[in-house]
Homo-oligomer: A and B are copies of this chain.
Amino acid sequence: MQLNSLILSVIKQLFPARQWLKNYKTEHFNGDLIAALIVTIMLIPQSLAYALLAGLPAEMGLYASILPLVFYGFLGSSYSLSVGPVAIISLMTASAVMPIASPESPAYTTLAILLAFISGLVLLLLGILRFGFIANFLSHPVVSGFISASGIIIIISQLKHLLGIPVSGDNLITQGTTLFQSIPAMHSTTCILAISCLAGLWWLRRCFLRYFPTWGVPLHYAQLLSKAAPVIVILLATLTTYYFRLDLKGVAIVGEIPKGLPQLSWPTMTGAHWQQLTSSALLIAIIGFIESISIGKTLAAKKRQRINPNQELIGLGSANLASAFSGGFPVTGGFSRSVVNFDAGASTPAAGIFAALGIAIVALWLTPLLFYLPKAALAVTIVMAVISLIDIGLIRKAWRYSRTEFTGITTTLTITLFFGVEYGVLSGVAISVSLHLLKTARPHIAVVGEIPGTEHFRNIQRHNVITYPHIISIRVDESLYFANSSFLEDKIYSLIAQNTKVKHVILMCTAINEIDLSALETLEVINCRLQELNIHFHLSEVKGPVMDTLQKTTFTKQLNGNIYLSQHQAIEDLKTAP
């Protein structure tokens, strides 16, 4: 019986799709099919664009949008998430592989595939070890600073396609230098095309959102249509390029994309490449996971559904492995496409699987239609997509909210801009954690006294309270742990150094949810020192769980004083003591 239920729970974890498959109905099928159709149309230019952003051949974008969607559909836990190449992860891929191989070389492609493979393994491993909680260890301001900076870097990186000049690098300095050097070589036809696309895209979106509702189109559809605007722009740009043969005038086009489905093969790898890519793969895995889970949670909450972070890790891990085995590059859940998928009525992960079929059909037969697609038009869609990532509002909000948060966000932003995405993420984590520790390392400590006629104790600096010269009562408003215990120690020593009449120190533990071993050692030291000075050290109002841990040690026996249930009782007992 027990073995059976264990096997069942393993199957459930390995194959969460069981749940929606067994209840799959016709109405689900209809919703999923429509959503898949819309997402497919949207995915085609996006996949190509992000492949180019990552410095890879366009077809790899398509490959990364077929098998990964199928695997995520069966193994992921979100019902609405659409997986595939996304802007930030493509940028991170470029910045990981660029230092090792030159873009568009076969070695570069091999390394990008290996990167997907290692990221996939990392995600899968984290999922099996149930490390889904790691997404919580980056603070929002830091993630937002990182994403804003990445958005700026991506926009600058697209200038090469918009202006028809070469720009390279993964941070502001290297990109800025090559950009300024190449400005004289700007290609005017490309520029005009890019500006037309930008203006067209901007106008179309506005038009859809403003006029369609007045023509009787429901707002919901108008919003959905406005998200299809990039497809219209790309279609028009392709037709223009074909009609005027702009490619012969020097406008860069996507060109020939090999027809057919990707070949399945084991990624090429060497020990040296593993070493060079592992740290990048780890960061890509974590950032991809954070991006994906936050979208997944937002969409799930709208339908009162739940996301299982560990299952998400397994879903994304298998999607990346699938990407690696089918010649793709690192993928994760994308924001805009997931929202479109959700809004278009996708009700199960089958929508993603149908979209994969759609892309497969494109890869098999329709790639010739993409021949004249100008790269500048793809760059325009990237730029318009990432502009929304740059979150000036949050920076302003952080400034108003607290200086520490503002420091966190601006430092991450600056480091990402000037030292590249990997340093950006790492320093972001370090900054979040340090700022948090700094805040809890100096807890609020109040000397308290009894409010006359009550059993309440309050800060002596804020209230008129009764105190006794031979007793000091101290309240700490934080759990005691290694980073703040010596702050308490210093505080107690300085209080008794100021007041030589003291014979009793009472530590009021109302706000202490935990005492770690370092803090316990500090309490023992305080107890010893006070004993040497003939001062008694008492505790009051110790919480149940804290008392349980203390009783595992000899501290309660060593204590040169008493442990009182209430502070009032402590004062009653000690006020007449010598």
A135 to B484, CA, bound (A): 11
CB-defined contacts of A297 to chain B, threshold 8 Å? 486, 489
CB-defined contacts of A483 to chain B, threshold 8 Å? 136-137, 436
| Cβ-based interface call for A565 (8 A) | no
Interface size on A, residues (CB 8 A): 62
CB-defined contacts of A105 to chain B, threshold 8 Å? none
**Chain B, Cβ-Cβ closest to A308:** B490
Interface of A is mostly: helix
* B513 with A139: CB separation less than 8 A: no
How near does chain B come to A116, taking the closest CB pair, in angstroms?
Answer: 27
* Max chain B Cβ within 10 angstroms of own Cβ: one of A481, A497, A522: A481
* Max chain B Cβ within 10 angstroms of own Cβ: one of A401, A432, A441, A481: A401
* A482 with B553: CB separation less than 8 A: no
* B513 with A444: CB separation less than 8 A: yes
| Cβ-based interface call for A532 (8 A) | yes
* B553 with A521: CB separation less than 8 A: no
CB-defined contacts of A521 to chain B, threshold 8 Å? 140
* Interface bits A423-452 vs B (CB < 8 Å: 1, else 0): 000000000110011111111100000000
* B306 with A497: CB separation less than 8 A: yes
* Max chain B Cβ within 10 angstroms of own Cβ: one of A398, A437, A442, A484: A437
* B552 with A514: CB separation less than 8 A: no
* Max chain B Cβ within 10 angstroms of own Cβ: one of A135, A301, A438, A444: A301
* A518 with B400: CB separation less than 8 A: no
| Cβ-based interface call for A557 (8 A) | no
* B405 with A516: CB separation less than 8 A: yes
* B301 with A517: CB separation less than 8 A: no
* A517 with B141: CB separation less than 8 A: yes
* A496 with B304: CB separation less than 8 A: yes
Candidates B402, B438, B439, B517; contact of A139 at CB < 8 Å: B517
| Cβ-based interface call for A365 (8 A) | no
A432 to B433, CA, bound (A): 12
**Chain B, Cβ-Cβ closest to A300:** B493
| Cβ-based interface call for A463 (8 A) | no
CB-defined contacts of A443 to chain B, threshold 8 Å? 513
* Interface bits A495-515 vs B (CB < 8 Å: 1, else 0): 011000000000000010110
* A482 with B140: CB separation less than 8 A: yes
8 further interface pairs, Cβ-Cβ under 8 Å (given A135-B486, A297-B486): A133-B441, A136-B484, A136-B487, A138-B482, A139-B518, A301-B529, A304-B496, A400-B553
A-B contact pairs, 18 of them (CB 8 A): A133-B442, A136-B483, A136-B484, A137-B483, A139-B517, A140-B518, A297-B486, A298-B525, A304-B497, A304-B533, A397-B517, A400-B552, A400-B553, A401-B517, A401-B549, A402-B549, A436-B481, A443-B513
Q: Please provide the 4 A-B residue pairs with the shortest distance between their CB atoms, ordered closest to farther.
A: A139-B482, A140-B518, A405-B517, A301-B529
